[in-house]
Structure 1
Amino acid sequence: VIFWHLCLTTMNRSAIATSFKAPAGQAYYCCSRIALIYTIVTAVLWYHLNNNIIISPSERVTTPEDTLHHNNRISVSLQKTPVSAADSGYYTRISQPDTYLCGDEQGKQSLPSTLQKYFNFIASIQTDLKIIFVGDSISAQFAQAFDSAALDEAQEDSVRAKNIFRPDGNRPSIIHICRSICSPIRGGGVSAFWRITNLILKENNKWPSRCTGFFRHWNEGQALDFLNHEYNSTQFVLPSNKGVSHQVNRTTTDYFQKSKLASFKAGNVNVVNGFDAAVFRVPHGWLQLDYIDSARLIETIETTHRILGATTIVIPTLPMSNNVKSENDWKKVTQINRMIREVARNITKSEGDVQYVLVQEFGNLTNQLLMENAKNLDLLSLHQRDIDYSREGWEVDVANVFLQRPPITTKKWPPSDSQVCSSLPSNRTEACPGVKISSDGMHWCVETFGGRFTASIACLLGCVYNAARPPTDEEIRKCEQRCNDQFMSLAMVDVKG
């Protein structure tokens, strides 16, 4: 209304100055049209900003350097925990939503000692690389675990910006992340997460985008928010810096603030501009399994490079989940994993394009753990108990074990017994006691898997960025295999201390 009034006044003044008197109806028509265009543009801009901006924290504090003894571009320090790693809370201090957690308060019991021994360490990350995790809520879980491993305690809110939504108005405390970015993390790098529940294809590029639970598209404006993100490039050493994890007191925070302000005045500000690496998890829970093919995966890889700049792409293999309903579904999942490996080895590389596509064998790790838990639950026949995990396709032969679910359930997507049960009740109509493997058959317990996942990502990226010269394809594959053998299988990890 104010704009319309000003427009008429301006036109009348203009008419007096030029001795031209516009008809009243024409003036009204012109101003109403201009006002309508102004309203539409304002509404669109407001909608786009409201749904896409990554809200920065009110106070930004830089992370201190850690006490790692490596000069590599990415390094990981493994530390034994005095308690079970799953009980330490190391990987869940910034986890959202908490409905995916697997703590005692969620009724989840620790793994038996025969299995817990494979997970009794935490991994601390130091890197100057810019890394972005892309995918659905499972990808968000492990991106947050990586953030925890790369941020010191009490630094989470000071360097972490995020874009969120609340799926349930009746439970406002349940928060999901659409996008987040931590900068700088320990070592000076960047760690980000982008929620995309589809493959990154031209056909799925839609504007405007929304931060909501069931929005299935992406757009390049979201990518630009990441690339244009500014952060302080200077790191400050914590006073009395000790250990992998630090508790920062008020005095230390004040010290950071003063140092940060001095640093910004000196012009020590970086812009992300582009990422070194992207970890893309295929969001198969949101897709028809037949939709996931090599052509679409290659387009996703190439588009990820084009819009984010990443020249190294890591793709985790798919695990068992509660939307795998039949043995045929499970065969399709294993075929997708085989296709991921083939694409990684055969994708065409060119100058200035994607240089390395690495496979993280996450599906292998979870499959092995599910089989071992199935043994504890006595779900295997005698001939199934002696499984050779090195044999390709072994998981297809035991599909009936993975698919064993409660005979009576009210859940639309019930989990498998080996995913969520620490024991089976004699009365199968009762719920089983939980175990720290999966919260619901879809999401994995980062309390258990966080260390191996984080160390695996650091190891794989180290194959590329810690090499003295660009590695050959053969060198990359050998290094990739060593990383997966060490962290993405039930092999003991040698941790000193």
Structure 2
Amino acid sequence: MTMLHTRALSIVLFLVSFVAIVFYSSHEKSLTICTTHVEHVHRDREPSTSSIHTIDEHDTVNHPQNRISFRLHSPDVISPPFQFLSVPGYTCPPSIAPLPPAVDHPTILNFTTTIETDLKVLFVGDSIMQQFAQSFYSSVLIHASANTSFGSKQYVWGGKDGRHVILRAFINGAIPELSGLHVCSSLSGPVQGGGIVGYYRLLDLPNREGRRQYVYCKNEKGWSWGDVREFLDFTVEEDGEVVPAKPLVRANSTHDSPQTTWYKSQLTSEGNTTNRSKTQTVGSFNAIVIRPPGPGWMKLHEITRERIIESIQLLHELFAVETVILTTLAFNNNVVTSRDWKDMLAVNQMIREVAAHWDNVVSGVKFVLVQDFAAFTNEILWMNGRHLGYNVCSSLTMQPRTYDTIPAEWANEGPMFLLHRIAMREWKFNPSIPMVCNTPPVCVSFATTLPNGTTVKDINELCVMNITADKSQCFFNRFSRDGMHWCVETVGPRFSGSVACLLGCVYNGATYEKYESASYTDKTKIMEGVKECEEECNGRFMSLVPVDEGWLKNNIAVYSKCNHCDV
């Protein structure tokens, strides 16, 4: 390149940067959405009314008979839940970026969770739910003394515990270490406490019309009796000792495309056992945690009240579940327009209403609870938006939340900053800046092509970083790597803790047994108590509310229980 060309390019870069900065400054008022920030207010309930209780590690006499409890730890004691993650592209080790100062505290997003349970729990959904099921595996299989460090190889196939079994999985491409393992079905058991945990990849809400003879689970919707029976007939050893991980073997069948390579764990003819005298068969599940796979695999208009109810009823018929936890939908890069955003808020409101009024619906499922993951991730997005310089209201609204209204700042402010995107030529969808960026970018208003080949469009459609800045200034933060999946190393401990808390509302104490034999009036009272417990679990864990610091420091077991169910 000649000196003249170099000088010309420098002038162009200067002008582009100057116009970008001028545009950003002149439009600063358009980003000033809120002048009064709503700070997070959380009032701890009195011990007599709180649904969340603790057990000191030295209390061996008065230990209540709970079916699920959990402990919170410093990451220095128990490492973040990466041990079973199988797709490297979704992972977010701490070296990527520091957490924003507002949440970089041991009691907010800097702790890990371990869980003890005798329940059988199945997670159902797409690759997003796969991540959180794998995070839950880490919580129920990693013992308190087992502290392991981050390592690249541990991300590839995930997990070194032989109690964890891959029933069916596939890779994209020919190199497993690069593409990672995409799981269709897996089981872990017995976990700490004797329970069993599984994951089932379904790309839509299951319904009766979706039954197939065989499902190509990479990208085909539907379910099959063969998949269901594989879960229910699986046998594990009752002895919960850690055993070496089982090797993965090729598992292509005549049903599958030869372009995709399939794998499964190498098992004996008797399943995941070596001693037939100490075994248990899965048989059924107590609870299912399901996230409707949208927006993405399912369009938002396809997620209807009728479809959700049919799915819950079908899951009872297939797996004999008594409890279903519905996970609300978080923002992702498939939310393209303001209409999409408001439609997703409406779907989440419908999910909350289905759960709130489930006692009026005839079904074999007795309890339907909400895990308000959308509320949690909205708090993260608004917090990170403010961290990046967006002048938006905090969505950290006063606890407890109510299900009858959608917070105004979610509906009105969301499209004003969540739809700002950064251009990634090699990606199919451009991710949202507040979801993936760690430092603020510079937005420009005109269409042009920068020297690195990045195309810049209108500010309302796309944003790019300052062309003089290094790419790492934006990518990546520790919330999302791609604008679709979440960093479970960061948010997984709260996700797992909330599931344990919600299940405790039903299965700890005598709630479930009393509901079985209660009169209609007493059933209504019990349901009200369970809903109070659900509300507190979401307020404590599906939020950025700090957890009790004593829980981390004193190795205290935490459990939830319906306080008003002793009718």
Q: TM-score range by the shorter chain?
A: 0.7 to 0.9
SS at 1:448's partner residue? helix
Q: Which residue of 2 aligns with 1:487?
A: 541
Residues 386 and 321 (structure 1 numbering): CA distance in 2 closer, same or farther, change over 3 Å? closer
2:140 to 150, 157, 160: 150
User: Equivalent residue for 1:342?
Assistant: 353
Matches within 5 A, 1:300-319: 300-319=311-330
Among 380, 389, 401, which residue is 2:417 paired with? Answer: 401
Q: Secondary structure at the match of 2:102?
A: helix
Residues 436 and 482, structure 2, Cα contact 8 Å, conserved in 1: yes
Q: 1:408 to 1:457 in 2, by over 3 A?
A: closer
Greater Rg over alpha carbons, structure: 1
Give 2:233's aligned residue: 228
Superposition deviation, residue 110 in structure 1: 2.2
TM-score, normalised to structure 1, is 0.75
- What residue number does 2:382 align with? 371
Higher mean C-alpha displacement, 119-128 vs 74-83: 74-83
* Contact 2:204-2:298 within 8 A present in 1 as well: yes
SS in 1 for 2:230: helix
Relative to the length of structure 2, the TM-score reads 0.66
Q: CA deviation at 1:247?
A: 12
Letter in 1 for 2:223: W
Instruction: Tell me the CA shift for residue 113 of structure 1.
Output: 2.6
Kindly tell me: are residues 414 and 329 of structure 1, through their superposed partners in 2, closer, same or farther at Cα, counting changes over 3 Å? same
**1:200-219 to 2 correspondences below 5 Å:** 200-211=206-217, 213-219=218-224
Gaps of 5+ in 1: 1-65, 239-245, 249-260
Q: Which residue of 2 aligns with 1:115?
A: 103
Distance 1:226 1:68, change over 3 A: farther
State the one-letter code of the partner of 1:90.
P
Q: Where do 1:318-333 residues align within 5 Å?
A: 318-333=329-344
C-alpha spacing 1:289/1:336, structure 2 compared with 1 (3 Å): same
* Matching residue within 123, 138, 151 for 2:128: 138
Greater share of residues in helix: 1
Shift of residue 156, structure 1, vs aligned partner: 4.2
TM-superposed CA distance for 1:271, in Å, is 0.8
Which residue of the partner structure matches residue 169 of structure 1? 173
Counterpart of 1:128?
118
1:417 is aligned to 2:417: no
Question: Contact 2:139–2:496 at 8 Å: present in 1 too?
Answer: yes
Deviations 1:205-241 (A, max 9, x none): 1112234x212121122111111011112345x9xxx
Partner SS for 1:126 = strand
Report the Cα offset of residue 342 of structure 1: 0.8
Per the alignment, in what secondary structure is the counterpart of residue 359 of structure 1? strand
Local SS of the residue matching 1:166: strand
Q: Which residue of 2 aligns with 1:46?
A: none
Counterpart-to-counterpart distance in 1, 2:511 and 2:378: 35
Q: Deviations over 1:416-459 (max 9, x none)?
A: 11111110244445742310001111100001011100110000
CA shift, 1:203, in A, is 1.6
In structure 1, C-alpha distance between the alignment counterparts of 2:396 and 2:136, rounded to whole Å: 32
Q: Which amino acid aligns with 2:227?
A: Q
Residue 303 of structure 1 aligns to a residue whose secondary structure is helix
Moved more, 191-200 or 343-352: 343-352
**Whole-angstrom CA distance in 1 between matches of 2:273 and 2:284:** 26
C-alpha deviations, 1:160-200, integer Å up to 9, x for none? 11134334223222211110001100000000000001110
Spell out, residue by residue over 1:99-151, the C-alpha distance to the aligned partner (whole angstroms, 9 max, x if none): 1001256xx21212321221121111000000000000010000000000000
Q: CA deviation at 1:92?
A: 0.6
Count of aligned positions: 402
**Structure 1: which amino acid aligns with 2:162?**
S
RMSD: 2.8
AA partner of residue 195 (structure 1): R
**SS at 2:351 equivalent:** helix
CA contact (8 A) 2:273 2:279 kept: no
> CA separation in 1, counterparts of 2:308 and 2:382?
29
Higher relative contact order (CA 8 A, sep 6+): 2
The one-letter amino acid of 1:209's match is: V
Instruction: Look up the match of 1:33.
Output: none
Gaps in structure 2 of 5+ consecutive residues: 1-56, 149-158, 246-271, 443-464, 516-525, 554-567
The structural deviation recorded for 1:349 is 6.4
